[in-house]
Amino acid sequence: MKDNIFEKSHDKQFEFDSQVALVFDDMLKRSVPYYKQTINTITNIASNYIQKDDIVYDIGCSTGTTLIELKKLLCVNATLVGVDNSKDMIKVARSKTKAYNMDIKYLTKDIFDMNFSGAKIIFANYILQFIRPLKREQLIKKIYDELKPGGVLIFSEKIIYEDKKLDKITIDEYIKYKKSQGYSDFEISTKREKLENVLVPYSEQENKNMITNAKFGECQTILKWLNFATFVAFKKA
């Protein structure tokens, strides 16, 4: 379904409810530059690290796209688990997965209540930015502690720039991008208003500092477009 949620004014802040879940795939494709290429890249990378009987989690899995695309690539049996606290997102994910006749498990659960022990790969795409900074640090530490040795964290985030002029330029370029995807000025400004204080991005370096502070080894930026970036971090074997 087409994302037209913000064609009209809303009183409430942005939330991942049933209305958003139904249009979320279209929203991502039109709101996140190179979204499809990002999913293709991270699933290709992950598939190179996954061995037989490994466990893979996608936290904040939304409609299940990442795990579905990963499943298409895998040549070994692995346990794939999607976790999201939105029952509406999980409902859509299960429906999509059933259509592909795939074996992927989905849980409607708070990620802080999850036990990721033994996980080889954890995906966290565009979710840390919605978590308050202190709890964000706690989640990364939890992920590090529960990943198996040699495990991999792959995450994507919206980012900011410390140079204020450059930050404004990237925001302006992003607005141009959204207009090219068919969003109106009103939709863009309304959504941005509703995300105020809900989505709190870090800079690229702040994201990397958070990762190294949790004792991960190498952390690399593997994709970047203005104010969007994807990172890969490794837990030493």
pLDDT digits (tens, 9 = 90+) for 80-125: 999 999 999 999 999 999 999 999 999 999 999 999 999 999 999 9
Chain-centroid distance of CA 105 in Å reads 18
Q: Where are the domains of the chain?
A: 11-234
Q: Retrieve residue 107's tokens.
A: 């849980």
Q: Which two tokens stand for residue 65?
A: 């796209």
Residue 19: per-residue pLDDT: 80
CA angle at 75 for the pair 74 and 79, rounded to the nearest 5°: 55
Q: Read off the pLDDT of residues 193-237 as tens digits, 9 standing for 90 and up.
A: 888 888 999 999 999 999 999 999 999 999 999 999 999 999 998
CB proximity list for 126: less than 8 A, separation 6 or greater:
32, 60, 156, 157, 158
The answer, yes or no, to whether residue 21 has pLDDT greater than 60, is yes
Distance CA 50, CA 104 (A): 15
Instruction: Dig out the tokens for 44 from the structure.
Output: 């290709």
**Phi, psi (degrees; rounded to nearest 5) at 170:** -65, -35
Topology classification of domain 11-234: Rossmann fold (3.40.50)
Structure tokens at 31: 């709101």
